[in-house]
Amino acid sequence: MWKWYNSKIIKIESIAPTTKRFWLQIEGDETLDFKAGQFVTMDLPIAEKRLKRWRSYSIASAPSHPASNVLEFCIVRAEAGAGTRYLFDEAAVDTNIRFKAPDGNFILTDARIAEKNLVFICTGTGVAPFRSMIHDILQRGLPYQNLHLIFGTRTEAGILYQKEFEDLQSKYPNFKYEVVLSRPQPTWNGRRGYVHAAYMEAYPNPTAETDFWICGWSKMIDEAVEHLLLDLKCAKSQIHYELYG
């Protein structure tokens, strides 16, 4: 069950031209017990009406044991967006942020992690819940089959947490990290285009043991669900998604 927390921004860092990492520390002695993949809803001072002030953000850091009072978020500035304008232009270190948490069912069970090949598909800050899940699985030393993170963005500058995922890939067997760029420089050696071709090629006939987890904005998610259901003939139970908007 969620409840309201008072927190303070303790650090802000640019990670890409329009994307920042924000670290929030809960005030007092409280900590947040959450599951990897869950989100918080911030009450930002951007409107009079309560519901117009609320913006949800996935927790990008992994849960720690015991629970921590510091959470990381990875947030992209939306064009003409009121919430992100506040977070990018007005909020700073020491700004208070009230949020309710934890929320959401975009979570993996330990049994699913142990039994399934997990394919994580995202664009941009849709990587946030997967970063939390991947760190959680690896930090807790949970048994897993295959973890495959497919991250899409336009250009090299938009790649989020690249070094971190590359390091994990070289350290952990059966963790594969793939970046797909839709508008790369001519020098880009990786995959070009959209994320869809990456999983369609890698899993042309997915067995029931393969689960697809998708996070991001509606266009990408709608396309992915259509490809998975109609082209790859996946069962609905193999497809899980978190829609940002």
Binding site for ligand FAD (CB under 6 A): 39, 55-58, 73-76, 78, 81-84, 104, 124-125, 128, 217, 242, 244-245
Name which of 18 and 146 has its Cβ closer to ligand FAD.
18
When the beta carbons of 56 and 69 are compared against ligand FAD, the nearer one is 56
Nearer to ligand FAD, 101 or 144 (CB): 101
Task: State the minimum distance, in angstroms, from the CB of residue 131 to ligand FAD.
Answer: 10
Edge-first strand order for the sheet with 39-43 is 54-58, 39-43, 96-103, 3-16, 19-26, 70-76
In angstroms, what is the minimal distance from the CB of 190 to ligand FAD? Answer: 22
Report the residue number, 122 or 137, with the smaller CB distance to ligand FAD: 122
Contact 211, 117 (CB under 8 A): yes
Q: Which residues pair with 212 in a beta bridge?
A: 119, 239
Please state, in angstroms and rounded to a whole number, the distance separating the CA atoms of residues 117 and 126.
20
Least CB distance from residue 143 to ligand FAD, whole Å? 28
Residue 53 or 227 with smaller CB distance to ligand FAD: 53
Beta partners for residue 243, in sequence order: 216
Minimum Å distance from CB 53 to ligand FAD?
9
CA distances (Å), origin 233, targets 123, 204, 220, 223:
23, 9, 18, 14
Least Å distance between CB 10 and ligand FAD? 18
- C-alpha distances in angstroms, 148 versus 5, 60, 162? 34, 17, 14
Strand pairing of 146-153 and 117-123? parallel
Nearest-CB residue to ligand FAD?
81
Q: Is 202 in a helix, a strand, or coil? A: helix
| Cβ nearer to ligand FAD, comparing 55 with 240 | 55
For Cα atoms 117, 120, 125, give the angle at the middle one, nearest 5 degrees.
165
Beta carbon of residue 216, minimum distance to ligand FAD (angstroms, whole number): 8
